[in-house]
Amino acid sequence: CVNIIQDIHCDVDDEVYMRRSLEIARKAIGHTSPNPMVGCVIVKNGEIVGEGFHPKAGQPHAEVFALREAGNLAENATAYVTLEPCNHYGRTPPCTEALVKAKVRRVVVGMVDPNPIVASKGVQRLREAGIDVTVSIEEDSCKKLNEAYIHQILTGKPLLTLRYTLSLNGCFLDQVGNGVADAGGYYSQLLQEYTAVLISPPSSSEEFEIPASKEHGAKQPLWIFLSSPDGSITIPRITDTTTKVVILTDREVVVGKRGIETVVMDELNLGNILDYCQSQGLNSVLWDVRAKLGIHEQLMKEGIEQKYLQKVVVEVLPQWSESQSGNSQTLFKSMAENLKMKSLQPRMSGQSVLLEGNL
Ligand code: AOF
Ligand code: ZN
């Protein structure tokens, strides 16, 4: 389908350009929280004349960068945006006005913005200005890209994903099999995606080394260490000066190590932990369990029963474990009753099998 005459467009092209917008949006992966990732391309006579993405909260939106690049060519062009253009004055002015001013003829929107300040008002404003608007192109991919943002806007809580490693005989292993040393491994990718990693460490006596970021200037999540139920804490070894660590505890502790902050809470429950993350603008939290699940049994039960847990990533290593898993029966009963996976998608990462699903 060749789009030579600007009045004629076809659905195939819409999907192609929306996928390009999604690709651009991903350039800001892990950097935009609490804002969504958004990408925009401007197409004139079948050619891309401008591209942009939202780099960070506080900075201009995707449409603004794309319109800047397109300049006068934006007139009568089509704009593809992964998220409905905003119609409000936030940290930045409304994108709808920028699109209207640039005299764009058509806007193709990946998904409606669930943010109640925007929610369809952006589309409405564009239509009122005489712009032809098409909504819900590559919608599932657009929603997947911003699942943390959507969850946080709708529930007021960060998206919480549980990650653990299993042996072939179903025992919990205290390691990440694939990905720590390998920049292309799934774990490195998770570190890019998530704004925070919540660590249930194997045991306070063991050294825990936080992996240094693979590329210079790569985004690092906030590393949150939870004190054990007996009050003991793990002080991680940091090899990268940009790494930030917070130890969450329910009693006073003095750490005195650069880059490590301690935050004392009245009670170390999951509600308080997620509120803390929310207050820090963190919209996605990877709960990385390196010990048997039972170490933070109460937290885990709370996560399951209060429906804080949204996703699970399980890594199955091609090896057997000699230890028995020794997990709490009460916890497992609660999991069996409450954890129903909606979907479970398998894939490979190195020698490991990954099972990813939504609850
Ligand atoms: C867009 N394009 O690239 C983004 C949008 O504080 P602000 O001004 O950055 O506004 C943040 C809100 O704007 C955010 O919650 C979401 O509703 C929308 N984000 N909208 O048109 C963008 N990042
Ligand atoms: Zn905007």
Tell me if residue 302 is catalytic.
no
- pTM reported for the whole predicted model: 0.89
For residue 355, what are its two tokens?
């099972």
Which pLDDT band holds residue 183 (cuts at 50, 70, 90)?
low
Which pLDDT band holds residue 21 (cuts at 50, 70, 90)?
very high
For residue 97, what are its two tokens?
């006005």
Return the higher-pLDDT residue of 201 and 272: 272
Q: With 70 as the cut, is the pLDDT of residue 195 above it?
A: yes
Dist. CA 35 → ligand 1 center (Å): 6
pLDDT for res 261:
92
pLDDT for res 9:
56
pLDDT for res 181:
57
Q: Is the distance from CB of 39 to CB of 53 less than 8 angstroms?
A: yes
Pocket test for ligand 1, best of 21, 35, 83, 152 (most atoms within 8 A of CB): 35
pLDDT for res 7:
47
pLDDT in tens, 335-355: 888 888 888 889 999 889 999
- Please, which residues have CB less than 5 A from ligand 2, an ion? 61, 86, 95
Which pLDDT band holds residue 6 (cuts at 50, 70, 90)?
very low
Which ligand lies nearest to the CA atom of residue 83 in the structure? 1
Q: Is the distance from CB of 210 to CB of 238 less than 8 angstroms?
A: yes
Choose, from 63, 84, 315, 356, the residue flagged as catalytic: 63
Which ligand lies nearest to the CA atom of residue 115 in the structure? 1
Dist. CA 256 → ligand 1 center (Å): 39
Stretch 53-80: mean pLDDT, rounded? 97
pLDDT for res 273:
95
**Ligand 1 binding pocket includes 108 (Cβ within 6 Å):** no
Which pLDDT band holds residue 2 (cuts at 50, 70, 90)?
very low
Residue nearest ligand 1's atom 22 by CA? 61
Stretch 79-83: mean pLDDT, rounded? 98
Q: What is the CA radius of gyration of the chain?
A: 23
Dist. CA 45 → ligand 1 center (Å): 28
Distance separating alpha carbons of residues 248 and 267, to the nearest angstrom: 10
User: Which of 34, 120, 108 has the alpha carbon at shortest distance from 78?
Assistant: 108
